[in-house]
Structure 1
């Protein structure tokens, strides 16, 4: 059963979308491709949110499909630590970052 984590993130004040998206293409996608527990990883720029959605505002949502949640968290803590540190140091506002774990409802 596919397990997907959605991460809603906001840029830090003063960070340009172009700089963050360059980091995503050159660093984040490359790192995600190396992690064995990640089946699929994509970042999406949010262009509009519904009126009833609270907790934001967010600029991006990531969709991360993993083989196993516990194994992913261990691998991310080891192999992805520098990436996560750089993300929050330079680009993303950690106080606004939220994530949701989900399991696919099979058709």
Structure 2
């Protein structure tokens, strides 16, 4: 079963998108690459939306494919702890960043 976590992220007011994207490339991707529970991790800048979206607007969406939710959450609490703290202290607006879990419906 494929489990994917999506994160809709909103930058804090005044944060330079280029600085956040540099952090993603240099730090976040590197940490994700070391986590054993992550199969695939990518961040995408959100462009135009096709209609109104409740709760937004968001600036980015992350797609994190994992092997096991409980194992991922445990690993994130240790390996990713400093990363998460830095993300929210410098870049992301915690009050407007949301995530949800999904399971692939196989064809």
- The corresponding residue for 1:40 is 40
Where 1:65 maps in the other structure, the secondary structure is strand
Q: TM-score, normalised by structure 1?
A: 0.98
Is the partner of 1:19 in helix, strand or coil?
helix
Unpaired runs of 5+ residues, structure 1, are none
Instruction: Quote the RMSD (CA, aligned, Å).
Output: 0.7
Written as runs of structure 1 = structure 2, the 5 A alignment for 1:11-26 is: 11-26=11-26
Consecutive unaligned residues of structure 2, counting only runs of 5 or more, are: none
Correspondence 1:53 to 2:53: yes
Q: Which runs of 4+ in 1 moved over 6 A?
A: none
> 2:76: which partner in 1?
76
**Cross-structure match for 1:99:** 99
- Deviation sequence 1:36-56 (CA, Å, 0-9, x none): 000000000000223232111
